[in-house]
Homo-oligomer: A and B are copies of this chain.
């Protein structure tokens, strides 16, 4: 599978995502010039066929004009990198931010780069560590001309239409069925990717809660304290099940309504370790879920499911401690209730 229209792309940032994007592009015949502050990462990809660069300067020099430079960097590093990179570029060059930037930063950056005649394209990139093989779902924002010019790049990175059966009622053409979409002007790509991650939080929360309810279906077998601080279980006879959670996840993978990649993944994790003992249960959140809720609130759109999933992550990290202490304090005040220790 080699593209008809090979292009050149500079890639800045050769972490797991950046390196795999380069590999996927090279498989399709594109020429990649690569840079990272870690020169070992550069040498590794150079060994696989990329053109290594030991500076941003060299990376820019190696590319024909109009250039396309893809940044695959932690969000906090994008602006400093742009400060270094933009002076090296020429009018009509394109910079693509493929990381997880906040979409409102894209709006500001695209204005800044436009003053130098440089295009800025924001590209939300989903697919995680599996993207090399499955392809990456791309949600793109920016001006039409720049996005159109990069089409062969996006097409090579995306999964392609063969990755899923066609949507029966779809009559339109357009690249969405290939797994990449120009969503709108600057920021629109990261906006859609941000919401994608919010949806991901909610779906993950639903799956994880469901598995937890199944795992605790044996609660009737366990002794309950019979004191005024403990809610009685009225029907212990209804909670006598010891259900194999790993096999439940496996069975949901085929034919069920909840069939999804996330169920595939949790089934794999549970197949390795049905009790998930390796995990403390401190669930990180890296920004997109927060911003999704902020957007929902700005828009006045109720999003209780996504919001609950975000709050659940905060709770998992113990961030509600003072709230909980205040609740115990009030119970102590009005009822003389002492906390039950673990």
Contacts and interface: CB of A to CB of B under 8 A. Distances in A.
Nearest to A267: B167
A136 B227 CA distance: 22
Contact of A230 (B286, B295, B311, B339): B286
A191 B241 contact: yes
A328 B283 contact: yes
Contacts of A334: 128-130, 257, 261-262, 265
B243 A298 contact: no
A257 B185 CA distance: 24
A38 to B, nearest CB: 15
A183 B240 CA distance: 12
A24 to B, nearest CB: 11
A315 B313 contact: no
A250 B322 contact: no
A266 B107 contact: no
B312 A302 contact: yes
Interface in A272-289: 272, 276, 279-287, 289
A86 interface: no
A203 B200 contact: no
A66 interface: no
Contacts of A321: 281
Interface in A297-342: 297-337, 339-342
A254 B160 contact: yes
A255 B333 contact: no
A40 to B, nearest CB: 19
B302 A243 contact: no
Contacts of A313: 327
A321 B318 CA distance: 11
A233 B299 CA distance: 8
A113 interface: no
A319 B231 CA distance: 14
Contact of A205 (B160, B253, B305): B305
B253 A167 contact: yes
Contact of A74 (B74, B227, B282, B306): B227
Interface stretch (A53-61, A144-152, A174-182): A174-182
Contacts of A85: none
Contacts of A309: 206, 304-305
B299 A304 contact: no
A237 B110 CA distance: 14
A46 interface: no
Contacts of A324: 208, 279, 281-283, 312, 316
A212 B126 CA distance: 20
Name, among A160, A301, A309, A319, the residue most crowded by chain B CB atoms within 10 Å (CB to CB). A301
B290 A293 contact: no
Contact of A305 (B107, B202, B243, B285): B202
A206 B213 contact: no
A260 interface: yes
B281 A325 contact: yes
